[in-house]
């Protein structure tokens, strides 16, 4: 039985195909439309998933959407009524869209895939995320905390996963969504990434500022008997998207400051970011405390947009609230689609159960391959070992190298397969990494990809962060001397966003880093996504070659073909 899970919105729409509880394919819509975080119905991604199954299969047995559309509609209606009369603008816009299109999605999906209506199912968004996080975890029992921007009316949910079941224990209403409030605050500070809801700049910028008096935290986040309560009046944006930061927020953060172009930020923007970070960290810890109390589990899976925030993950790990924290190797959209498909398989008549903890599969291998022909590249490298040698030698020589190898990561962020690598010892290399065409602000620090065996000696990694750090960056403190040696990869607050690259999950990159370590003593590379600002990761050979032509990088390796900058011949091992 094939179950197709679909997720709309979040950090990009996605589709996932599952057969008898086993994931077969996972695709993001943005890879096909080339619109970053494309939130629209992922029909192209769904067809790509079905195509992977093989010829003749044009429709799944079930479709599961990771959202309850009528619940979302009800929530919008209630919010806009509660905001009367200020909600009139938002009401006109959203109801026009919902009544005209979004409410009838069941029929549309049934038509698109030629299925009877009763084969289209709907999973609650938080439950889908929880199922995805649980299925990718290595455990047979754990707490699951979902913090989402909430399509339906949930801002946070606590689940307990046990064997093949997840059970919801408690929820917070949608307006208390920590990711939403953080996004509104980041928007007020002008820190949202172009074309997305990504507020990842807050953590980087916070290190340059100071949180003076905790006024923001005190105003937005109140202690209560059951752990957390966010001040409702400060979150009008939840009820009326036009409201933005309210007058109260403006008093606390000051009028919307402008981020100076190019310069290392200081003053109101950096102080504002520090205040938002302090508030977010404290609220997250309270939510985690409540999760621990309700589930009595010592291990936790975290899902939602904040799960990929390296700085907040670092705070959570340092708190020691949990023995272990797991974050799925798939970002929100893909995780919800995967979870919906797994959950749908469980609920449908022939139901497969969720894969029990420790299932032997890796979603990191499910992305699609590069489109286009790589056999015409100028320099053929004889096998993987030559690729490893070439990359390692170039990086040690101070080169900045693009690398596209194997299937793409099923999410918006590169994890070693569509990436740009540079030597972390040199500030010049960091600047090269951050320059056009990939460009991001000089005050941001790129994540450090480290061979797993090298991490403990160089960074103070809390034991609870070990599962999470293997799936993506976590901000951890550098040990004495490391900041001086790896200046380009350690932030001004002495932390680095470290990703521990395992030999099992990423064998080739692990070998490259190990070779670098043999030469320099640091088995590490600065790593950033191979994309232009506002665009998805590279998806085709043509695009990658063109991006290389516009860059000043020393070279690029696509599978086993190398492109080297003129005048910079291939390095010899």
Partner 1 sequence: MGIANWLTRRRCRRVWNDPERTIATLESYARTEEDAGHDISAAIDRVGDGELIELMRRHAADERRHAELFRQRARSLREKHGIHDLGDITSDDKLLDLSRGRREQGLNAHGFFGNDQVDERGVVAYVAMLEHAEVQAEQLFSIHRELVSDDAETLAVFDEILRDEQYHVSYTRATLERWREEGREFEVRRARSAARSSRWWGAWKRAGAASASGFSRTLLRALYLTVLAPFALLARRRAGTGGWSEPSNGDPEDMRGQA
**Which residues would be at the binding site for partner 1 (CB under 8 A)?**
32, 34-35, 40, 43-44, 47, 64, 68-71, 74, 78, 80-82, 84-85, 87-89, 91-93, 95-96, 99-100, 106, 118, 121-123, 127, 158, 167-173, 175-176, 224, 226-227, 229-230, 232, 261, 290, 343-344, 347-348, 371, 540, 542-543, 546, 550
Whichever of 121 and 556 has its CB closer to partner 1, that residue is: 121
Establish whether the linkage from the previous residue to 337 is cis, with ω within 30° of 0. Answer: no
Shortest Å, Cβ 353 to partner 1: 13
Closer residue to partner 1 (CB): 156 or 310: 156
Residue 521's SS3 state is coil
- How far from 377 is each of 395, 431, 545, CA to CA, in Å? 21, 27, 9
Instruction: Please choose, from the candidates 264, 293, 160, the residue with its C-alpha nearest in 3D space to the C-alpha of residue 205.
Output: 264
Nearer to partner 1, 371 or 519 (CB): 371
> In whole angstroms, how close is the CB of 409 to partner 1 at the nearest point?
20
Beta 555-558 vs 400-404: how paired, if at all?
parallel
Which C-beta is closer to partner 1: that of 238 or that of 522? Answer: 238
Give the whole-angstrom CA distance, residue 455 versus residue 461. 8
DSSP H helical segments within 83-189, as ranges? Answer: 88-100, 105-112, 125-136, 178-188
Supply the Cα-derived Rg of the chain in whole angstroms.
23
Closest approach, Cβ 59 to partner 1, in A, equals 16
Nearer of residues 119 and 299 to partner 1, judged by Cβ: 119
Burial string for 23-52 (b: 16+ CB within 10 Å, else e) reads: bbbbbbbbbbbeebbbbebbbbbbbbbbee
Helices and strands: H and E segment counts in the chain: 21, 22
Phi/psi region, residue 452 (left: phi>0; alpha: psi -120 to 50; beta: rest), is alpha
Nearest approach, Cβ of 543 to partner 1 (angstroms)?
8
* Cα dihedral 388/390/396/400 (nearest 10): -100
- What are the C-alpha distances in Å from 558 to residues 154, 397, 561? 43, 20, 5
- In the complex with partner 1, the residue whose CB is nearer, 102 or 485, is 102
Nearer CB in complex with partner 1: 43/526:
43
Shorter beta-carbon distance to partner 1: residue 299 or 343: 343
Instruction: Tell me which residue has tokens 């290399």.
Output: 429
Residue closer to partner 1 (CB basis): 297 or 381: 297
At its nearest, how many Å lie between partner 1 and the CB of residue 551?
Answer: 12
Task: Report which of 9, 3, 50 is spatially closest to residue 27, judged by C-alpha positions.
Answer: 50
Tokens standing for 378? 């100028």
Least distance from C-beta 341 to partner 1, angstroms?
A: 12
First-to-last CA distance in the chain?
50
- Smaller CB separation from partner 1, 95 or 365: 95
CB of 91 to partner 1, least distance (A): 5
- Here the tokens at position 236 are 């009008």
Minimum CB–partner distance for residue 455 and partner 1 (Å): 36
- In the complex, what is the shortest distance from the CB of residue 297 to partner 1, in angstroms, rounded to a whole number? 17
Instruction: Look up residue 537 and give its DSSP letter.
Output: P
**Minimum distance between the CB of residue 34 and partner 1, rounded to whole angstroms?**
5
- What CA–CA distance (Å, rounded) separates 123 from 168? 13
Closest approach, Cβ 229 to partner 1, in A, equals 4
Q: Measured from the CB atom, is 237 or 486 closer to partner 1? A: 237
For residue 185, what is the enclosing H or E element?
helix 178-188
Reading the block at residue 512, the tokens are 């490259």
Q: How far apart are CA 337 and CA 324, in angstroms?
A: 25
């Amino acid at each position: 039985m094939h179950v197709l899970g679909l997720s709309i919105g979040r950090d990009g729409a996605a589709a996932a195909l599952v057969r008898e509880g086993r994931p077969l394919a996972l695709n993001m819509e943005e890879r096909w439309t080339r619109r970053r975080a494309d939130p629209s119905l992922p029909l192209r991604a769904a067809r790509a998933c079905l195509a992977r199954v093989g010829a003749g299969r044009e429709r799944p047995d079930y479709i599961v959407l990771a959202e309850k559309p009528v619940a979302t509609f009800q929530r919008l209606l209630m919010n806009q009524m509660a905001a009367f009369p200020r909600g009139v603008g938002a009401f006109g816009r959203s109801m026009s869209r919902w009544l005209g299109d979004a409410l009838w999605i069941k029929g549309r999906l049934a038509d698109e895939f030629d299925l009877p209506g009763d084969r289209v199912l709907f999973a609650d968004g938080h439950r889908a995320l929880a199922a995805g996080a649980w299925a990718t975890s290595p455990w047979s029992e754990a707490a699951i905390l979902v913090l989402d921007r909430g399509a339906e009316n949930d801002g946070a949910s606590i689940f307990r996963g046990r064997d093949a079941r997840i059970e919801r224990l408690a929820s917070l209403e949608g307006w208390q969504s920590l990711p939403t409030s953080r996004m509104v605050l980041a928007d007020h500070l002008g820190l949202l990434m172009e074309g997305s809801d990504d507020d990842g700049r807050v953590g980087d910028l916070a290190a340059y500022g100071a949180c003076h008096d905790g006024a923001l935290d005190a105003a937005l986040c109140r202690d209560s008997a059951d752990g957390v309560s966010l001040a409702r009046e400060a979150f009008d944006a939840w009820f009326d998207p036009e409201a933005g930061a309210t007058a109260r927020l403006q008093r606390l953060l000051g009028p919307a400051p402008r981020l100076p172009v190019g310069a290392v930020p200081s003053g109101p923007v950096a102080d504002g970011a520090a205040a938002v970070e302090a508030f977010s960290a404290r609220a997250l810890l309270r939510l985690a405390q409540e999760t621990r109390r309700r589930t009595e589990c010592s291990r936790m899976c975290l899902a939602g947009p904040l799960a990929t925030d390296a700085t907040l993950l670092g705070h959570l790990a340092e708190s020691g609230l949990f023995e272990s924290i797991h974050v799925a190797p798939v970002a929100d959209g893909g995780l919800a689609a995967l979870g919906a498909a797994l959950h749908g398989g469980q609920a449908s008549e022939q139901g497969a159960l969720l894969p029990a903890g420790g299932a032997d599969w890796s979603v990191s291998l499910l992305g699609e391959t590069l489109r286009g022909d790589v056999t015409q590249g100028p320099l053929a490298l004889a096998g993987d070992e030559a690729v490893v040698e070439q990359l390692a030698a170039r990086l040690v020589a101070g080169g900045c190298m693009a690398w596209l190898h194997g299937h793409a990561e099923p999410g918006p962020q590169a994890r070693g397969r569509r990436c740009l690598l540079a030597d972390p010892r040199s500030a010049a290399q960091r600047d090269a990494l951050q320059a056009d065409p990939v460009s991001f602000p000089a005050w941001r620090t790129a994540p450090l990809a480290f061979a797993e065996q090298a991490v403990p000696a160089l960074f103070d990694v809390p034991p609870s962060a070990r599962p999470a750090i293997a799936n993506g960056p976590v901000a951890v403190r550098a040990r004495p001397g490391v900041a001086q040696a790896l200046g380009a990869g350690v932030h001004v607050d002495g932390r680095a966003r470290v990703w521990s690259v395992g030999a099992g999950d990423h064998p080739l990159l692990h070998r490259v880093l190990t070779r670098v370590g043999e030469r320099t003593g640091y088995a590490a590379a600065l790593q950033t996504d191979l994309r232009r600002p506002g665009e998805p990761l590279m998806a085709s050979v043509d695009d990658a070659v063109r991006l290389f032509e516009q860059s000043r990088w020393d070279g690029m390796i696509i599978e086993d073909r190398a492109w080297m900058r003129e005048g910079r011949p291939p390095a010899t091992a």
